[in-house]
Amino acid sequence: MGYRTMTRFSSAVAAATVFLAPATPVHRPVHEVQVVASKFRFEPAVIEVTAGEPVRLVIRSKDVVHGFAVPALKIDVQVPKSDGDPAVVEFVAPPPGRFEVACSEFCGSGHGQMKAAVVSVAPL
């Protein structure tokens, strides 16, 4: 009797699991992008992401300290110089649009021209 009850319970759990599976959030793998900062550019200069996906930017400097700022997304991190750890930024890609990136740490004569963009596109 005890055994049967247990079996029925297990079957019910299994059925419930199968039934609920489609309702759980869709698994969204993190879109990781390696970004290299150097005097006076970011590579890639256009970081394309898909609206709604989780994004991780791993930003390394090839030379001095830089900053990676995306004011519209409230992102502003310091990027340590080349022998330091990379800066890591995680966010959920915003609705479609273009979001300007600028260096936010004075890094020399071309600092003001050190620009890039995060471009978010609609999912297919």
Under the rule (CB under 5 A), what is the footprint of Cu ion? Answer: 103, 107, 111, 114
103 or 118: CB nearest Cu ion: 103
Shortest Å, Cβ 97 to Cu ion? 24
Residue with tokens 């993190």: 30
Q: φ and ψ at 13, to 5 degrees?
A: -65, -45
Query: In terms of DSSP bridges, do strands 115-121 and 97-102 run parallel, antiparallel, or are they unpaired?
Result: antiparallel
Shortest Å, Cβ 33 to Cu ion? 20
50 or 78: CB nearest Cu ion: 78
SS3 3: helix
Shortest Å, Cβ 116 to Cu ion? 12
Query: In terms of DSSP bridges, do strands 46-50 and 115-121 run parallel, antiparallel, or are they unpaired?
Result: parallel
44 or 112: CB nearest Cu ion: 112
